Structure 1
Amino acid sequence: MEALRLDWAGGAPRLRTSEALARQGLVTTVSSRAGTAAVVGWVGSARDRAAGARSLLDDAGRRGAAPPTPAGDYAAVLVYGDRILLTRDEQARIPLFFRESGGRVSAVSTSVRCLGSATELEPRYFCRYLAGNMAQPHSDLTPFSGVHRVLGGEVVELSITGQMRGRTPRRSPRATDPPEPAAEGPCLDEAAQELRLALETAVGRRMGTMTACHVSGGTDSTSVALLAALLLAAERGDAGDLVLLAGRFSRGELAAERPYLDVAMEAIRRHTPAARPVIVDADDVADFDDFQHHAGDADEPHAHAFRAPFWARLHAAAAELGCDTLLTGCGADPVVDANPFHLHRLARTGRLRQMTEQARAWAAGSERGLRDIVRAYVVQPAFPLAAERITALRGGGTVLGGLGTFNRPRWLRPGFARAHGYRDAGIAESRFVFGRKPEQSLYDAANYVAAPDLLSWQRARRDGFFLSHPFLDPEVVATMSRLPAAATFRPGRPKAVLRAAMADLLPAPIRGRSVKVPFNDLYARGLRRHGDELIALCRSARHPLVAEMFDVETLCRAVREARLGLGDSYSWDRVNSSLALVAWLEGLDRRSGALGGAAPVSAGS
C-alpha cells in the first residue's frame, strides 16, 4: 500500500500523500520554516498526530548530535531546504523503501511493489526470507533489485536532489544493552510497580479517538484492555469510546477459552460499563481461508498470511465502528516473562553452579527436563547452527523431522541455496536471534516475531487503523531488560511481574491461569480444509522462480505431513513461509497498490 511517495521532477523533490489515508488520520503532513514532514502513523501520541509530526520535523532538523528516536509507530519523510531525511521508529511497524542506483535515490515509498520491477527480483532476499520468520524487518534487502528498506530506528540522509549522503542507525533511550545487573535488585513488588507505570504510559500514548482492544481472555490482552478502560474513565468519566473486540469459538479446542473471555469482559465492564463488547463468531474461520488473496496481494512475502482470515474478520468489526487504533497483547510472552537466557549469561561468565541451580528451578517450574532447559537456553544460543544440525540428524525420516529455525528446508533446492547465500542468511539470522548476549537479543527479536503486522498494513486503507502493541513499547522493554532474574522468575508462575503489576485489576481466574489454548486447532482445521488447494497451488505455479527455488513435490509432501500433524511449530512455520512465497510470486502480475487520489505536498521551506 502506497501512503506516500517522494520522487523528483525537474531536479526538485516532489512529495505526495494518499488523500484517503490523510482523511482517516493515518497520514499527517505539517510544514514550518524548516521544511515539510509527511508522517505515516503517529509520533509521541496517537491522539495528537500533528504535534508529534511537528516535533519530529523540528528535532530531526537540528544539526549536530542526532536526537534519540521518539516513541511511536511511524515512517516519515522530512524535506528541508538543504537535505531530505527518511526515518522510521525503532519497532519498524510501518514500512518505508527507496529505489537507488549509482548513489542516487530516484523514489521513496511505503510500498516496495510500487518501486520494484517484477522482472528484476533479488534472489538473495528469498534466501534471507526463508532463513527465518524475522528476516524481513531487520534486513536491508527487499524482493526487488535496487530497492532498499529503511531499517527500524534508522535515518537515511539525502541531498535535496536525491544523492545518498549516509545511513545512520539511531536508537531510542531504552536499555537494549544495559550493564550486567547486580545480584541485588528490586523485589517482585517493586518490579511490578515499575512495569505497571511503563505499561500505563505505553497504553496511554496509543489511545485514539475511538480505541479498540483485542480481548482473548488471556492475561496479556486483558491487562491492556483494563488499563485502557481505566485511562479513558479517568479522563472522561466513562469509556464510551472503548471497543472490546473478541473472537469467540463454540467448538473445538478454542471453545475452552470462552469462560475466560466472559470473565475478562465482565471485569472490564465492571470498571467501565460504557465500554462496548463486540463478539465476533469465528467458528467458520480456518487458517488458509482465501490464502491466495491474503498472501498473494501482500506488498512483500508475508510468512503469517495463513492466520490472516481470523484477524481480518476482527479488523472488519472494529472498522465498522470507526475505530482509529486497535491495541493488542502481542509481545507479552517474551517481554514480560522471566528471561530464560539469563542462564546463558551465568554460563558464559563462569557461574556454572548458579546456572545449574537456576536451570533446575526452571525445569521444575516448566515441567521440562534439566537437559532440555540447558540445551535450549545455554547450548543452542552458543552453537545455534550446530545444534540444529544434530537435531535434524536425529529427526530424519520425514520432510519435517528435525527441521528447526535456521536449517535449510529439504524442499529448498541446494543449488539455489548455495548460489544465493542461504548459509550466510542462516548465520545472520541466528546472530540476530541470539546475538553476543542472548538475554538482550531476546527483546530485539521479540519485536519482530511477536507482532507480524503486514496484514494490518495491507488492510489499513480499508480499516482506517494500524495495530499497536503496548508490550513492545520501548519503555516497557527497557523496564524488563534491566530487571534481574531474581525479581522476575517464579517457578511455575509465568509472567509473575505482570500478574503482580495487575493484581488489583485482573479477575482471579485470569490472574491465576498459567496455560492458554494455542491456535493449533485453527491451523489443523485450515490444513484439513485447504490442504489439497495448497498442494495444487504449488504444482500449478507458473512463476519460473518457484521451480528454480523449490522441489515442488517435496514441498507438497511437507504440506501433507503437516496436515497429518507431523512436525512442530518450527517446521510448520517453514512450510507456511514457503507457501506464502509461492502465492506471492504467483500474484506479482496483479495490480499493485499504487498511490491513488494523491495530494501534492509543498516540499520547499
Structure 2
Amino acid sequence: MRVGFDVFTALNEDTQFHLFSCHRDDPKQAPLVTFADDRQSGVASVLLGHLCYQDEILSKLPQSMRQSCASDATIAIIVYCYSGLKALEELEGEFSLVLWDGASQRLFALRDPLGSWPLFWLVNSQRIAVSTSLRSLLALLPERSLDLDFIAQFIMWSNPGFELPTERTPFPEIKRVLPGTTLEMNPIGQVKSHCWWNWKAKLGKNNNITLEEAGEQYAELLRQAVKQRVQRGRIAAHLSGGMDSSSIVCTAREWMLSGVGRSPLHTLSEVYKRPCLVGERDYVEMVIEQGGPVEAHLIDSDNALDFLWFNEEIPIHDEPYPYLNQLGMEKILIETAHQVGVDTILTGIGGDQLLASKRLYIADFLRQGRWLVALFEANRWAYAKNQDVWSIMYGCGIQPAWPILTGERFGYFLRHGFGHWPNLGAFSIPPWVIPDFARSYQMQSVGRENAQKLYHSPIEIAADLWAIQSSVGDWSSWNLAAPRGMHNSRPFLDPRLLSFCLGLPRSIREIPGMPKPVLQKAMQGVLPEAIRIRTDKRSFNDNYWLGLSKHLPQLETMVQTSAICELGIFDKSQLIRVMHQAAVGIGDMPTCGRINITLSLIAWFEQMSKTWHHLLEKPTEIHCINYLLQI
C-alpha cells in the first residue's frame, strides 16, 4: 500500500495532484498527506508528513489569516502567499512539500533538513513530474535502465544511512530532491536548485557556555521537540532501556501528565530471554515503574532475527536499503503500534549523533603534529574507560588520521583498492566485486573520496556533519509505518537540537567517564538514575549472527539465482564464500556490514525486477484523490 503523492505539470496542460493515502478506521487520526488549493491566488500545495512549531508560524501572520489554517498544506499556501518562497524555507517539521504557483507558472519542491520523507523528480518531454515514489516516475519512462555509477557508490558506502547523499538515484533519468534544498521548476522543463540549509553555519555558536547551562538549555529544547510530536493523535514510543529512548519516553510522559497530548503513552519494548540481552528488560521496567499515563507493551523478540526476509515478505521499497537485514526488529515494533492504533511512534534515534563522545579530536592533534597532547588525551580516556591506552590512541587517533593506510595498509594500493577478507577496510573495494566493474566505475576513487569526506580536517567536525548526513531519511517510516497510516518521529533529530549541539564546545560534549554529558545533565531528575549514569549498552550482534546462520541457505540461493550477476558486478562464488565464513564468526561487524550492503542490493534488485510490469499499486490498495488545477 502506497502513501504519498504525484504532481505533474506541462506547458498548456492542467497541473495534476494525485494523492495516495491509506484507508482509516478512525477519522480523527491525523492524515499523513494533506492537500490545499486557493483558487483566488492560483496556488496549490501537497504535503507528506507534519509541520512543527505551528504556533510560531501562525504568530507571524495577520489574525485574519490564522483562522483558515486548517491543514499543514494550507499553512504552506498561506505563508507562501504572505511572505514568498523564503517563508516556505523557514517551515519546520518532518515533511516533503510541493507547491504550485499558477500565476508565475512555477512549481516548488522541498524537503526538511533531515529528509524525513522522500521526494524525487523527472523531466520528460518538457513535462515535469515530482513524486514521493521512484516507481511512480519509472512508469513514465519508455525505457528503464540502472545507473551503475550509483550502484558502485552504494557498494562503497562506508558509513551508510537511509539514502545516499547525492541527487542520483538507481535510475539515471530520475533525480532526488536533497534535504534542505528547494527545486524551482517551470512547465517547459527548466529546473533551478537552491540549498537553503547549511549545517556548517551552526558550528561554534555557544563557546562560552557551561555544562550546567548547556544541560538546562538542551532539556528545554528537547521538551519542546517532544511536545511538537505528542499533539497529533495517539502516541507510542520505543523504549529499549537505553538513555536515549528512555529520555524520550519520560519527557513525553511529562507532557501528557500536564494535559498535552492524548493519554496514554504506549511504550514499545522488545524483550529477550537470550542471556546477552535479557538484562535490558530491567532498565525498561525502571522507566515503566515511574508510573504516569503509560501503557507498556513488552514484545517477545527472540525470533526477530536478522535477515528475516524469507519468513516475512520484504516491503516494496524504491532504493536499496543498507540495513535491510534488520527488517525483523523494525517490523515487530511497527506491527505492535498498529495493533494499538497509534498515529505517531517516537524513537530515540539521533541521540548518539552529536551527544556521544567520538574522541576524534585526538586524530586532529596527531595531524597537527601534537603527539604528546594526543597521547595525554588518549591516556585520560583510557583511564576513564578502563582500557589500554593504545586501543584509544589507535582507534580514535591513528586510524581516523590515516584511514586508508590503517584500513588496508600498503596492500590497498598494490591491489588497486581491493580489500582482503576478513580484514576489509571501510574504504576498500569488497573482494567479491569483479575487477572490470570496479575499474569501469572507478570504485577505488569512490573509496578515497569517502575517506576524505568522513575524515577531512578538522576530523571531529567532519564526523559530526557526516553523522547528521547518515541520519537523513527513515526507511522504516516510509515502508513499514506509512502504509499503516503511522509515521516515526525522531525528536533528537529536530534541527533546533542538532544546531544547538553543533554550537557547543568539545569540552562540554566530550568528558572522559561521562557518557553523553549534555544529555546526562539535561535528564537529571527525569530519568531513573541507573539509566541516566549508565555506561554500558548491550549490542544486538547476537541477532545478526543467529540470523545469518539460520538464513544462510536461503541467502545463498538468492545470490546464486539473482539476475544481478548478469550485470557483471559480483563474483557470486566469492560472495558466498565470505558469507559462509561470516556465519561462523569470521570478520568483525563493520566488515560484515559490507556483506549486508551487497545482500540488500541483491534483494532490492530482485524485488524491482519482478515489479517492472507493476510499478504502480492496484487501485484497490490505495485511496487516490486526483486534483486537476485549471489555472
Fold conserved between structures, TM > 0.5: yes
Amino acid at match of 1:109: S
C-alpha distance in 1 between matches for 2:282 and 2:447: 42
Amino acid at match of 2:586: L
Residue in 1 that maps onto 2:123: 100
Please list the CA deviations of residues 314-364 of structure 1 after superposition, one character each: whole Å capped at 9, or x if unmatched.
101101222111111112123212342333455556765544432322233
Distance 1:451 1:148, change over 3 A: closer
Residue in 1 that maps onto 2:557: 536
Amino acid at match of 1:203: V
Secondary structure of the residue aligned to 1:587 is helix
Distance 1:431 1:293, change over 3 A: farther
Which of 450, 460, 463 aligns to 1:439? It is 460
Indicate if the aligned counterparts of 1:337 and 1:497 stay in contact, CA closer than 8 A.
no
Amino acid at match of 2:118: P
Q: How does 1:387-466 map to 2 (within 5 A)?
A: 387-390=406-409, 400-449=421-470, 453-466=474-487
1:115 matched to 2:141? The reply is: no
Q: Deviation of residue 68 (structure 1)?
A: 4.5
Q: Deviation of residue 405 (structure 1)?
A: 2.3
Secondary structure of the residue aligned to 1:113 is helix
Secondary structure of the residue aligned to 2:530 is helix
Amino acid at match of 2:248: V
1:38 matched to 2:64? The reply is: no
Amino acid at match of 1:28: T
Amino acid at match of 1:336: L
1:220 matched to 2:244? The reply is: yes
Q: How does 1:328-343 map to 2 (within 5 A)?
A: 328-343=347-362
Please list the CA deviations of residues 381-422 of structure 1 after superposition, one character each: whole Å capped at 9, or x if unmatched.
44433432319779x999632213221111111211221232
Distance 1:581 1:540, change over 3 A: same
C-alpha distance in 1 between matches for 2:616 and 2:586: 38
Q: Deviation of residue 137 (structure 1)?
A: 3.9
C-alpha distance in 2 between matches for 1:44 and 1:215: 23
Residue in 1 that maps onto 2:17: 15
Q: Deviation of residue 96 (structure 1)?
A: 0.6
Please list the CA deviations of residues 441-500 of structure 1 after superposition, one character each: whole Å capped at 9, or x if unmatched.
333322354576213211234321121211121111122222222223332221122112
Amino acid at match of 1:20: C
1:152 matched to 2:176? The reply is: no
Amino acid at match of 2:16: R
Secondary structure of the residue aligned to 1:245 is strand
Q: How does 1:259-270 map to 2 (within 5 A)?
A: 259-267=282-290, 270=291
Amino acid at match of 2:376: E
Amino acid at match of 1:232: M
Secondary structure of the residue aligned to 2:134 is coil
C-alpha distance in 1 between matches for 2:323 and 2:9: 35
C-alpha distance in 2 between matches for 1:12 and 1:369: 68
Q: How does 1:198-347 map to 2 (within 5 A)?
A: 198-207=221-230, 208-236=232-260, 240-267=263-290, 270=291, 272=292, 274-291=293-310, 297-346=316-365
Distance 1:37 1:429, change over 3 A: farther
Please list the CA deviations of residues 4-54 of structure 1 after superposition, one character each: whole Å capped at 9, or x if unmatched.
001236533211111437976110112232511100001225999955433
C-alpha distance in 2 between matches for 1:301 and 1:343: 35
C-alpha distance in 1 between matches for 2:54 and 2:295: 21
Q: Deviation of residue 293 (structure 1)?
A: 6.0
Indicate if the aligned counterparts of 1:141 and 1:147 stay in contact, CA closer than 8 A.
yes
Please list the CA deviations of residues 354-377 of structure 1 after superposition, one character each: whole Å capped at 9, or x if unmatched.
444323222333344444434444
Indicate if the aligned counterparts of 1:233 and 1:239 stay in contact, CA closer than 8 A.
no
Indicate if the aligned counterparts of 1:45 and 1:206 stay in contact, CA closer than 8 A.
no
Deviates more, 1:421-430 or 1:190-199: 421-430
1:489 matched to 2:497? The reply is: no
Indicate if the aligned counterparts of 1:31 and 1:37 stay in contact, CA closer than 8 A.
yes
Please list the CA deviations of residues 534-571 of structure 1 after superposition, one character each: whole Å capped at 9, or x if unmatched.
111101213454x5110101111121121111111211
Residue in 2 that maps onto 1:193: 216
Indicate if the aligned counterparts of 2:34 and 2:72 stay in contact, CA closer than 8 A.
no
C-alpha distance in 2 between matches for 1:371 and 1:339: 16
Which of 189, 204, 210 aligns to 1:163? It is 189
C-alpha distance in 2 between matches for 1:438 and 1:578: 28
Residue in 2 that maps onto 1:91: 114
Deviates more, 1:186-195 or 1:371-380: 371-380
C-alpha distance in 2 between matches for 1:191 and 1:55: 33
Secondary structure of the residue aligned to 1:240 is strand
Residue in 1 that maps onto 2:627: 601
C-alpha distance in 1 between matches for 2:343 and 2:542: 31
Q: How does 1:468-487 map to 2 (within 5 A)?
A: 468-487=489-508
Residue in 2 that maps onto 1:555: 575
Indicate if the aligned counterparts of 2:34 and 2:71 stay in contact, CA closer than 8 A.
no
Residue in 2 that maps onto 1:580: 600
Amino acid at match of 1:223: S
C-alpha distance in 1 between matches for 2:348 and 2:271: 17
Amino acid at match of 2:561: S
Distance 1:105 1:147, change over 3 A: farther
Amino acid at match of 1:551: D
Q: Deviation of residue 295 (structure 1)?
A: 5.0
Q: CA RMSD in A?
A: 3.0
Q: Deviation of residue 136 (structure 1)?
A: 2.7
Structure 2 residue runs without a partner (length 5+): 59-68
Deviates more, 1:306-315 or 1:246-255: 246-255
Distance 1:77 1:393, change over 3 A: closer
1:126 matched to 2:151? The reply is: yes
Distance 1:162 1:428, change over 3 A: farther
Secondary structure of the residue aligned to 2:179 is coil
Distance 1:405 1:283, change over 3 A: same
C-alpha distance in 1 between matches for 2:314 and 2:470: 18
Distance 1:538 1:34, change over 3 A: same
Please list the CA deviations of residues 137-188 of structure 1 after superposition, one character each: whole Å capped at 9, or x if unmatched.
41111111201111111101101x152231111116x665524875xx3332
Deviates more, 1:51-60 or 1:515-524: 51-60
Q: Scaled by the length of structure 1, what TM-score is found?
A: 0.90
Deviates more, 1:471-480 or 1:369-378: 369-378
Distance 1:19 1:493, change over 3 A: closer
C-alpha distance in 1 between matches for 2:117 and 2:54: 14
Q: Scaled by the length of structure 2, what TM-score is found?
A: 0.86
Q: Deviation of residue 2 (structure 1)?
A: 5.4
Residue in 1 that maps onto 2:6: 5
Secondary structure of the residue aligned to 2:498 is helix
Q: Deviation of residue 90 (structure 1)?
A: 0.8
C-alpha distance in 1 between matches for 2:628 and 2:452: 43
Q: Would you say how many aligned residue pairs link Structure 1 and Structure 2?
A: 593
Amino acid at match of 1:94: W
Indicate if the aligned counterparts of 1:111 and 1:299 stay in contact, CA closer than 8 A.
yes
C-alpha distance in 2 between matches for 1:121 and 1:335: 36
Secondary structure of the residue aligned to 2:278 is helix
Indicate if the aligned counterparts of 2:288 and 2:296 stay in contact, CA closer than 8 A.
yes
Distance 1:421 1:76, change over 3 A: farther
Distance 1:362 1:601, change over 3 A: farther
Distance 1:346 1:199, change over 3 A: farther
Please list the CA deviations of residues 244-293 of structure 1 after superposition, one character each: whole Å capped at 9, or x if unmatched.
111111224111211112112212xx2x1x32111111122211112596
